[in-house]
Every structure is written in C-alpha cells, then in structure tokens.
Amino acid sequence: MSAQIPAERSTEQLREKWMKPEVISGSEILLRSLLLEGVECVFGYPGGAVLYIYDAMYGFDDFHHLLTRHEQGAIHAADGYARASGKVGVCIATSGPGATNTVTGIATAYMDSVPLVVITGNVATSLIGTDAFQEADITGITMPITKHSYLVRNAEDLPRVIHEAFHIANTGRKGPVLIDIPKDVSAQKVRFEPVHSVDLRGYNPTVVPNRLQLEKLVAAVSEAERPVILAGGGVVYSGGHEGLLEFVNRSGIPITTTLLGLGSFPSGHDLWMGMPGMHGTYAANQAIQQSDLLISIGARFDDRVTGRLDGFAPHAKIVHIDIDPAEIGKNVKTDIPIVGDVKTVLEMLNPMVGYSSKADAWRAQISSWKQEKPFKYKDSEDMLKPQWVIELLNDTTQGEAIVTTDVGQHQMWTAQYYKFNQPRSFITSGGLGTMGFGFPAAVGAQMAHPDRLVISINGDGGMQMCAQELAICAINKIPVKIVVINNQVLGMVRQWQELIYDNRYSHIDLAGSPDFVKLAEAYGVKGLRATSKEEAESAWQEALDTDGPVLVEFVVHKGENVYPMVPQGSTIDQMLMGDCE
C-alpha cells in the first residue's frame, strides 16, 4: 500500500456515479456524501456500532480509509490533515469508548479552530438511553467542544446533515462538528437524494467588515508612532497570508506572529519580530508593551501571549480583527473592533492604508532590540543541545518542510529556531496543549501532501502517547521523518519545578522509557540514534536520504531550559533571559 491518495477520485465520471439516486443503505449514503464533499481520506477505527459503515467500504475502491491503531490517533491525524490542507478532516469511531477516545482530539481542534467532521456510531435508536452495551451520550459529552452536533435518527436526513456539517465546520470560525449515527440508521435503506444547498436559520457568519471601522483603523495607523501588528492562526485559516504581507509592506508596521500564526508571514522579513508571549522574543514583547497602536489580526489574546492582562500593552489603542465577534473584547478591551474574515478584511484594507511615516524611530528601535537580544543558548561540543538539533533540521531543509510538534520544551524550541516561511507548514496543538498530538498529526499532514517532506518533532514523553501509529507508517509507507528529542524527563514540567517550585522535582523522570530505536524497528520503521553532533548530522542525513518513514532519536542535555521565559503572573516584558544573559 502507499500513502498516495488516488488522483482520479475527483473526476466528473465518478461524481455522477456517486450522485446516482437509488435505494441504498444509510452507510452507503454516508460514504457517497463524504465523497461528494471532496473527502480524500478518512481516518478511523471500526467497532460494533459502525460495522454497517465499514461493511459498505468493502470493495468500494473510490473510498479511501486509513486504519489507525487508536481513535485518538485517528482524530489527531484528521486534524493534521485539515491544518496542512485547509480542507475538512474526517474521522470515524464506534460508539461508547471509541467515541469517547476522540474527545481529547475534538477539544484540541475546537481550541485551535480546526475544521473536522467527526462521525461516531451509536447503539440502535430503540436502545438509546437504556445504558446498552457501549452506549455513551457523545453529543452531550462533546457539546462544549463542538461547533454543532447531530444525532441522526433517519437515514433520509444523512445527505442534508453531512452537507450542513461540512458547511458549519469550514465557515465562520472553523471548528469540529460531530455526527452520531445509530446502528439501525446506518443499516436503514432509503432513496438517496444528494443535497447541494444549505439553509441554516440563524447561522450567517460575518465575512465582510464594516467599512467605517476600516476607516478608523486607517486613521489610527496614520497617527501612530509605535504601531505593532499581532497576527495569529486566523490569518492561516482564512488564506490571508498574502494580504498580510501586502499590509505590512504598505504600512511599514513591525509584526509579531503567535505560535499558531507562525508561517503566516515570512520569517526573513525585516519587520518580523518573531513570536510574542511566554517564550517569545525580547523584541516582540518589548514592542507590544511599548506600542501605542496594537493591531490584532486573527489572534484571540491567549494568556500565553498576553501574560498578566492588567499590564498588557498598557499604552496601546487596541484594534481587533476577528471573524468571531465573541472573541472581541473577551480578554482585552478593544478600541476598534472589526468583525470579518481576515482575508476579506485585508483585501479591503490594503488599498486604503498608507505608510506609517511617524514610526521611523520606532522601526529603528525594534531593529536594535532584534540585534541585541536574539534567541541564544550555550552550545557544547561535549553534548547535544536541543536548540542545536532544531537548527540542524532547519538548515538541512531550508525551512521548507511541514513540521508538526508535540507539546513541551521541544515545541517551543521548534517555534524559536525553525524558520517558517509558508502558511500551513507549522502544525501544533496551541490552545489545549495536547501531548500525543504531534506524530499522528504528521501522518495526516503527509496524507494531505504525499510529495512534501513532513517532520514530526516529539519529546520522549509525548512520543509514547501515540507511538502505536508507527505501524501505519510502516504498513502504508508513509514517509514521515520522526524526531524524538530525548532528555529522559518531562522537560517543561521539570523547568517549572526548577524555576517556580524551588527544584522540587516530582514525578518527572522518564528514564524507564523504551529504546526508541528498537521500538521503531519492532513496528518495521528504520530507527537511528545520535548522541553527538557528528552522529546527529549523519543520522539526520540518512533519514532524509531514506524513502520511507524513519525515526531519529537525539539524546540531548537533560537540564536545558527554554528561554526567554515570562513567569506566570508577570507582564510579558518581565522576562527571564537565561544563562546567556
């Protein structure tokens, strides 16, 4: 088998076959409806309540399904596919424990505004509410972490429900939608009538902004002496990266990009300051704190960006551009609210805005900060430093790979030392901080882009949470390059215990972890290990030269910390700069 998705599945000839009205089962309606939505690959794991659905897949060559080894692996893979492609990711799980195993992945997507359609099976409609075997109220359980959910009680509703679910997931502020299908509904035979229109009363996201508010922004730019742009994941999700680059070039306003905004703006641009917040650059944090105009574009003022709210950007007039009106003013008082799709807002705004001529001294000040206090660390010839490893990955790929990370110190080092220049090239769990996300997300990203280099960067803790998905990389020849930054410890927890809890190290030792090289080989994946710079360069080059999946374990210094760091409860200009300062 191959990770390549069949190229011919979108032809008009096949679409006519899928759209043919006839009496078929609810399961067949589901599969045809997914194909008509343009779904290329579904990630899933079967069980009793979805057996009719999986039976409908038998011999259905047009439908591409990837069997993961855990439902959490399936939903994280669907998430990675969605983030890398800009399309809706789809996963399938059975009822009860299968459905509840997707909850962490649903919450991950919800926090980061990722479009997913999650299909779960349920017990037959006659058994709902009886505590039947493997019954769970998954629509109730996931209500706070989905945009919308459906419990389908009649197979005739499936074409409409599926079409609506994709529309809801991928419009407005994107997010996950759940479709729960009882077993008897998946077996029920009805006449299939494809649905092509959507009529959702009360659901009409604002895409086009109020022009008067844009004029207020333009006036504010012309008056500002210390303007700053804060760009977030909304720029990526809207496809607004080209408009953002034009806006910066037209206005001359320095820009910082959040963790999820990395890649939305070229890292080599003179006006880019890096990432702000808890582990952000000195220049970005100082610029925000001293700014007189802060323009937030598709960012939600997360606490890891703002630090202590009552001391955040104390001198700035705040402009907030977001498609979700509920975000505006939620965390930070907003002076100029602009509700609309980021790409549309920038397309309208760019012809209106002029160069920020009063900010020449400000641009010089920021340039000085960038030169005086870049990210830095104490390198060593005797041991591997994790920052050096990330620089090695960056230098050998020229920042052109799709990179996924798990959560922890390696995530922050990747954000700091890998230079992203393209949108949808950095895939990480931002809002929920989900360990176990990075590796299966890379599988999904590779399915979306079979011809691109995909690197999965993991800690030794997170790698063990979804390591079983190594099997599908081997079986399906999915050529992800898997990096394990192994410091034998829960690194970020250790760092907090060192700096905040007076070196009281409690339950962080991962010394009993498996031999990652042997683990990879047990699944049929090539495994390599490096403990020195020379070994690291050789092993990584071998991984790049290998056609299939490879796991490379980099054994790094145990006591390394991520700096800069803003301690909890501090303002973002109160930064611990580390041993190099």
| 439-478 residue pLDDT tens | 999 999 999 999 999 999 999 999 999 999 999 999 999 9
Look at residue 39 in the predicted model and tell me its pLDDT.
95
Tens digit of each residue's pLDDT (9 = 90 or more) over 139-167: 999 999 999 999 999 999 999 999 999 99
Q: Is 8 a catalytic residue?
A: no
Q: Are 96 and 134 in contact (CB under 8 A)?
A: yes
Domain CATH for 258 = 3.40.50.1220
Q: Are 440 and 68 in contact (CB under 8 A)?
A: yes
Question: What is the pLDDT averaged over residues 360-365?
Answer: 97
The catalytic residue among 71, 135, 327, 469 is 71
Statement to judge: residues 38 and 155 lie in one domain: yes
Point out the domain boundary residue: 327, 349, 372.
372
Q: Are 578 and 564 in contact (CB under 8 A)?
A: yes
Point out the domain boundary residue: 163, 191, 219.
191
Better-predicted residue by pLDDT, 580 or 339: 339
Reduced to 3 states (helix: H, G, I; strand: E, B; else coil), residue 367 is helix
Q: Is 542 a catalytic residue?
A: no
In a domain, 244, yes or no: yes
Query: Given the DSSP bridges, would you call strands 23-25 and 189-191 parallel, antiparallel or unpaired?
Result: antiparallel
Quick one: DSSP state of residue 126? G
In a domain, 366, yes or no: yes
> With helix as H, strand as E and coil as C, how does 486-550 read?
ECCECHHHHHHHHHCCCCCCCCCECCCCCCHHHHHHHCCCEEEEECCHHHHHHHHHHHHHCCCCE
In a domain, 267, yes or no: yes
pLDDT classification of 1: cutoffs 50, 70, 90 = very low
Statement to judge: residues 518 and 489 lie in one domain: yes
Q: Is the peptide bond before 564 cis (omega within 30 degrees of 0)?
A: yes
Statement to judge: residues 99 and 147 lie in one domain: yes
The catalytic residue among 4, 17, 133, 518 is 133
Statement to judge: residues 449 and 509 lie in one domain: yes
Separation of alpha carbons 530 and 511, rounded Å: 17
Which residue range forms the structural domain that includes residue 511? Answer: 386-555
Question: What is the pLDDT averaged over residues 380-393?
Answer: 95
Tens digit of each residue's pLDDT (9 = 90 or more) over 87-101: 999 999 999 999 999
In a domain, 564, yes or no: no
Statement to judge: residues 238 and 186 lie in one domain: no
Tens digit of each residue's pLDDT (9 = 90 or more) over 267-302: 999 999 999 999 999 999 999 999 999 999 999 999
Q: Is 133 a catalytic residue?
A: yes
Q: Is 127 left (phi over 0), alpha (psi -120 to 50) or beta?
A: alpha
Look at residue 399 in the predicted model and tell me its pLDDT.
87
The catalytic residue among 134, 365, 488, 497 is 134
Look at residue 2 in the predicted model and tell me its pLDDT.
46
In a domain, 411, yes or no: yes
Domain CATH for 431 = 3.40.50.970
Statement to judge: residues 162 and 241 lie in one domain: no
The catalytic residue among 174, 183, 343, 419 is 183
Statement to judge: residues 405 and 541 lie in one domain: yes
Statement to judge: residues 30 and 87 lie in one domain: yes
Rounded to whole angstroms, the maximal C-alpha distance in the chain is: 72
Question: What is the pLDDT averaged over residues 29-34?
Answer: 97
Statement to judge: residues 283 and 398 lie in one domain: no
Statement to judge: residues 361 and 220 lie in one domain: yes
Quick one: DSSP state of residue 221? H
In a domain, 561, yes or no: no
Write down the mean pLDDT value for the chain: 95
Q: Are 308 and 288 in contact (CB under 8 A)?
A: no
Total domains in the fold of the chain: 3
Statement to judge: residues 303 and 401 lie in one domain: no
Separation of alpha carbons 367 and 287, rounded Å: 11
The catalytic residue among 278, 435, 492, 575 is 492
In a domain, 566, yes or no: no
21 pLDDT higher than 90: no
In a domain, 127, yes or no: yes
Statement to judge: residues 311 and 177 lie in one domain: no
